[in-house]
Structure 1
Amino acid sequence: MSDTSATREGAEEQGWATARTLAEALPFIQQYDRETVVIKYGGHAMGQEESARLFAADSVLLKLLGLHPVVVHGGGPQISRMLDKAGVKSTFVDGLRVTDEATMEVAEMVLSGAINKEIANWITLAGAEADVRGVGLSGKDARLITVEKATRTRKDPDSQIEQVVDLGFVGEPTRIDPQLIQGLISADHDYIPVIAPIGVSEDGQTYNINADTVAGALAGALSAKRMLLLTDVAGVLGADGELIRQMSVDEARGAIASGVASGGMIPKLETAIAAVEAGVEAVVILDGRRPHAMLVELFTEHGSGTLITR
């Protein structure tokens, strides 16, 4: 067999494999038709150009397949790098960054500026042929996200007395106004909203919000069918270090209480619990560094990451 014939035969086999994959995906495509999927895009992979391009292309594909993707992005590593350059030291409490005035200024600049517009632009470039466009927003636009100052308590290691921890300009969503997002994702438009986790209080003060928390609040307000938390870990790991494929809300609470979940995984699980209890069918924590992780989760039987359901 000539090299040309072998190449054509190999290409034909690849074509058949692609066709089988599409056919197998059909039931899942129908299941998600015209459903909203909120995607929290974060982790270190977010700063890599090739990963960003793949994410944007997959988001456009979801839109073209009839889904309504809504992207909420983080930016912790990028904020940390900018704070380091500015000589501002960060501290964290249960995975949440303590945000003073200087940190808030940098966080808003990085989140609502560079990162938000870059992701929206990647989506617009990926969807150019189909006229699918990314629209960059923050929670301050049209009062999309109203917040109040967040509070946390922790036990003093010596006295074991609960103490209130001041997180600074860190907010918790109190009200989501989904009208702007609903207008953008309606069937008449091919827009994909990209939302920075910045909100505003009733008196006009700007607050930084954990991006997982924003994604969960939006998913509940939009009655999303799925929320995908893309991060830089495979999912929730058990005490033995193995991936937990599926958890109930009660099991997720147990993982937090027992210490199996720690650090940044705590707000992720808290977000998943709140979203499911707000009516989201399921939340998935999965590895956003893996190419096409969203497609594997939504359109294959075995899925990817850790699925949290009621």
Structure 2
Amino acid sequence: MIVVKVGGRVIKNALDNIIESLVNYGGKAILVHGGGDIVTDLSKRMGIEPVFVTSPEGIRSRYTGREELDVYVMGMNLVNKNIVTRLVSKGKSAIGISGMDGPTVMATRKKRIMIIDERGKKRIIDGGYTGKINSVNSEYLMRLNEIFQLIVIAPIAVDMEEGVALNVDGDQMAFNVAKAVRAEALLLLTDVEGVLVDSKVVGRLGPDEAANLSAKIGPGMNRKLLMASESVRAGVSKVIIASGLVPNAINSALEGRGTVIS
């Protein structure tokens, strides 16, 4: 089984390409999708202005308050069911879930987060409804895998103690799912061709090399490299960072197009 993570920009701009890639792949897969741009559009249509914050590491993310959480859940589930509809209409056996279902993905709500404010100063604010993943119910996923060819997961987890849904980072969810099921490969399909150093794609990295390079590369990709290193050490055979915009993106990545961490 492979795990595929598709970012929100690829979902928005190249969903047809991803659907065709899944159809052409032919094997069993878990797809973890983003959809932040679609959630932002939905928020604005509902009169709710999205709020974004920046971490001290320079990572920009959505701030999820109570009202924003409702829109986030609606938006991500809309993306999820749209993907499943497209897959089943092409003859695929597919099911769409979120981490709340089962439950599949458990997380803890972040009580406080540190941000860089508009004056460039560090400030601690209430964490809202974002979460850090604690565990993944691999048994549940494996049972679904016996029935369905494709499992499509929205990046929503559940805090069992507080009884609330949580916005969780899609990359974080994909890495945790891949580790839990010991995936043959984890594909991160983005809007770039792979890890770029001096404008050239790095073809292959070991886990130590990936961890070391993460300290020298920009926000977003640095987290991907760190989590890729940890995933390989945890039993995932390989992590591939590649473009989701090229034709037949999944098979292309599995054939080595992109950056392979193993």
| TM-score exceeds 0.5 | yes
| 1:275 maps to 2:231 | yes
- Within the alignment, does 1:45 sit opposite 2:10 as a pair? yes
Match of 2:210 in 1: 252
For 2:225 and 2:23, locate their aligned partners in 1 and report how far apart those are by CA, in whole Å: 27
Q: Which runs of 4+ in 1 moved over 6 A?
A: 154-160
- Asked if 2 retains the 8 angstrom alpha-carbon contact of 1:95 and 1:267, the reply is no
- Report the alpha carbon displacement of residue 54 of structure 1 after superposing the two structures with TM: 3.4
Is 1:108 aligned to 2:73, yes or no?
yes
> Match of 2:95?
135
More helix by share: 1
Whole-angstrom distance in 2 between the partners of 1:245 and 1:70:
24
Q: Which amino acid aligns with 2:38?
A: Q
Distance of 1:292 and 1:175 partners within structure 2? 32
- Determine the structure 1 residue equivalent to 2:181: 222
Greater RCO (Cα-Cα under 8 Å, separation 6 or more): 2
1:92 to 53, 60, 63: 53
Query: Which string of whole-angstrom CA distances, capped at 9 and with x for unpartnered residues, describes residues 259-293 of structure 1?
Result: x222x323323332332232101111111011112
CA separation in 2, counterparts of 1:295 and 1:159?
43
Q: 2:245 corresponds to which letter in structure 1? A: R
Cα distance in structure 2, aligned partners of 1:77 and 1:273: 28
1:170 aligns with 2:127: no
Aligned-residue sequence identity (percent) comes to: 28
Q: Does 1:121 align with 2:85?
A: yes
SS of match in other structure, 1:168: coil
DSSP 3-state at the match of 1:193: strand
State the distance in 1 between where 2:25 and 2:85 align: 17
Q: Find 1:56's aligned residue among 5, 19, 31.
A: 19
CA distance in 1, matches of 2:81, 2:261: 31
The answer as to 2:257 corresponding to 1:304 is yes
Q: Are the aligned partners of 2:191 and 2:243 in contact in 1 as well (CA < 8 Å)?
A: yes
Relative to structure 1, the CA distance from residue 287 to residue 141 in structure 2 (aligned partners, 3 Å threshold; closer, same or farther) is same
Q: What corresponds to 1:29 in structure 2?
A: none
Confirm or deny: 8 A CA contact 2:24 2:248 kept in the other structure.
no
1:153-302 to 2 correspondence within 5 Å?
Answer: 153=114, 164=124, 166-186=126-146, 189-203=147-161, 204-238=163-197, 240-258=198-216, 260-262=217-219, 264-298=220-254, 300=255
Q: Is the 8 A contact 1:52 1:122 kept in 2?
A: no
Matched position secondary structure for 2:109: strand
Return 5+ residue gaps in structure 1 as ranges: 1-35
Provide the secondary structure at the position in 1 that maps to 2:128: strand
| Structure 1 counterpart of 2:259, one-letter code | T
Residue identity in the other structure for 1:220: K
Q: Normalising to structure 1: TM-score of the pair? A: 0.75
2:81 match: secondary structure = helix
Q: Does the CA-based 8 Å contact 2:136-2:177 persist in structure 1?
A: yes
Maintained 8 Å contact 1:43/1:232: no
